[in-house]
Structure 1
Amino acid sequence: MVEDPDPSDRPTISHRNRATGIEVAVAIKSPKWRSRVLDAEALCHQAVGGVLAVVDPLDVPMEVSVVLADDELLQRLNRESRGVDRPTNVLAFPCDSLGESVPVGAPRMLGDVVVSYDTVSREASPHGTPFADHLRHLVVHGTLHLLDYRHDSGTEAEVMEELEASILAEMGIPDPYADGVALIK
């Protein structure tokens, strides 16, 4: 789980969809998010739900935490977890191994997806990508990482990009890789 620098600064909104068994806990750590996206929690739930509707490895209730932060937190987490001292758009921190057992009826905690407002804004604007669409793309991308999808090799990247494009299409979002200018590296 991502260490919360000040757990009292922003409430965590948790929403469980009883029909799907998906719980998404959204913690907003930067006030910038509220100024740009009024329904960030719903967008995050839609993105996580879109992934788990297509890729549900165990067909059990799942829980994902999404932290909406800023460059400062993402840079610190990137430095501590990957040894890269710069901010990034999204980081994913898997929690449970998919092979481990959990109590019957309990959701499987997949892990945390942490997104930087500042980087999302910088990436989306020059390309004319709607901010909310880029947020959903990054949450889809991060959730796939929680499910062990990677883009380290060309083949892995192709599989992950095709899956992302398919999931985003279900949400009415155009293929972010279609023009060859991917906003996720």
Structure 2
Amino acid sequence: MLDIAITREDPWPHHDWDALAAAAAQAAICLTPYGDWLGGPATIEISVRLTTDDEVHALNHQYRHQDKPTNVLSFPMVQRDLLDAVTLNSDDGEVLLGDIVLAHDVCAAEAAERDIDLAAHAAHLIVHGTLHLLGYDHMDPREAEAMEEIEARALASLGIANPYLIHED
């Protein structure tokens, strides 16, 4: 089972962010070796925070030593090498996979630049963030390509166009 906790701050507009985040995270997880978790006995928890650029800037500076806001940050709570055993070792049947934080103004500017809906862009970033929580990365070109492929397939399952094709046009 998947449990998504959403926190929305202004200036994020009112929207059914709960449903969007749940669908995006589920679509991402389903396409990975961890898809079994969704039908397993443990509840997999992800926190998604929709907040300001200032908050993301501070987090980015504190944790990544980057003095600027970014579109999405992911904070995994499970070490990559322990992911395979994570649901087997849950004491209370709940596993906090991690936190995903999105910066409104950066996301809105990117969506406008790509001429896409803010909600569709947020869905992409939640898929992207969920994959980071699962240990995926894009530092190596092969890993980046694999991650982009999963993202494109997850978004297609949600009826959202491949953002990498849109970006390349």
TM bucket (normalised to shorter chain) is: 0.7 to 0.9
2:167 and 2:113 mapped to 1: Cα distance?
Answer: 15
* AA aligned opposite 1:103: D
1:72 aligns with 2:60: no
What is aligned with 1:126? 113
Deviation at 1:56, TM superposition (A): 5.1
- 1:6-155 aligned at under 5 Å gives the runs 21-28=1-8, 30-33=9-12, 36-55=13-32, 57=34, 59=37, 60=40, 61-97=43-79, 98=83, 99-100=85-86, 101-103=89-91, 106-155=93-142
SS in 2 for 1:84: coil
Deviation at 1:163, TM superposition (A): 0.4
What is aligned with 2:157? 170
Q: Would the aligned equivalents of 1:37 and 1:132 in 2 still touch at CA under 8 Å? A: no
Count of residue correspondences: 158
* AA aligned opposite 1:102: S
Q: Segments of 4+ in structure 1 off by > 6 A?
A: none
SS in 2 for 1:77: helix
**Structure-2 change in CA distance of 1:128 and 1:79 (3 Å):** same
Deviation at 1:53, TM superposition (A): 2.1
What TM-score do the two structures reach when normalised by structure 1?
0.80
* AA aligned opposite 2:142: T
Q: Would the aligned equivalents of 1:111 and 1:146 in 2 still touch at CA under 8 Å? A: yes
Tell me how large the CA RMSD over aligned residues is.
Answer: 1.7
SS in 2 for 1:110: strand
Whose relative contact order is higher, 1 or 2, with alpha carbons under 8 Å and at least 6 apart?
A: 2
Unaligned regions of 5+ residues in structure 1, if any? Answer: 1-20
Deviation by residue 1:133-173 (Cα, 9 ceiling, x = unmatched): 00000000000000000000111110000000000000000
Deviation at 1:130, TM superposition (A): 1.1
1:123 and 1:181 mapped to 2: Cα distance?
Answer: 14
**Structure-2 change in CA distance of 1:91 and 1:23 (3 Å):** same
Percent of pairs with identical residues? 37
Q: Which has the higher helix share?
A: 2
* AA aligned opposite 2:57: Q
